Amino acid sequence: MKFVDPKTDIAFKKIFGNQAHKGILIEFLNEVLELEYPIADIEISNTYQPPKLEGLKETSLDVKAKDTAKREFLIEMQVEKEAWFCQRAMYYSSKSYSQQLSVGHKYHLLKPVIFLGILDFETFDHTSAFSRHLILNSETGQHDLKDLEFNFIELPKFTKTESQLETVADKWIYFIKQAFKLDHIPSDTTPALRLAYEIASQHKWTPE
């Protein structure tokens, strides 16, 4: 058994951006992000974010989704090292946040935007493979501004072998990083993760 590389653009979108298999994205986000209020259901959205004003930059995400609480999730898989990826994450998130309101809408209608960047390179010093970045009060450390959240998985920092995988989150990160090197589906996978491996199985893909 051989698998396509989930890190490639078309494979990542086919696995995580398919509304017909939304359970994959739900479990992946719930396990990796450890949300205070887990995702119950999700709708995968159009990833193209056109500018509302002429001359502003167009953006297109790998996966964009909204849960039943109207929280927006932006997921970006980045293989090539990009020096300004953090700025891109903030731009994508602030753009998505600002486009929630139309004329006459009140600010209380704004919903959180949660960004997850999966990087095939290292970008932060002194952090583990997964890091969460919040807007905090520099004096008290209080997390009062909660609507924007930035999460990153740096794949090179994830060095666990198959026998060392402890959590479901570990198994998802291992899948993204190592699936294309494997010849089997690891044991003790969840149904959603097994489906992700089955979608990534090369025998289901045409050359095109």
Q: pTM for the whole thing?
A: 0.91
- The answer to whether 122 and 157 have CB atoms below 8 angstroms apart is yes
Query: Is residue 11 a contact partner of residue 31, using CB atoms and an 8 Å limit?
Result: no
Round to whole Å and give the CA distance between 72 and 127.
25
Q: What is the pLDDT of residue 46?
A: 64
DSSP string, 14-65: HHHS-GGGHHHHHHHHHHHH--SS--S-EEEPP-EE--SSTTSPPEE-SEEE
Give the model's pLDDT for residue 170: 98
Q: Residues, the chain, total?
A: 208
pLDDT value at position 56? Answer: 47
pLDDT profile of the chain (208 residues), mean per 10: 93 93 97 95 72 51 92 96 94 94 92 97 94 96 96 98 96 97 94 96 79
Return the pLDDT at 206.
Answer: 79
Q: How many other CB atoms are there within 10 angstroms of residue 38's CB atom?
A: 13
pLDDT at 47: 57
Cα separation, 41 vs 38, whole angstroms: 9
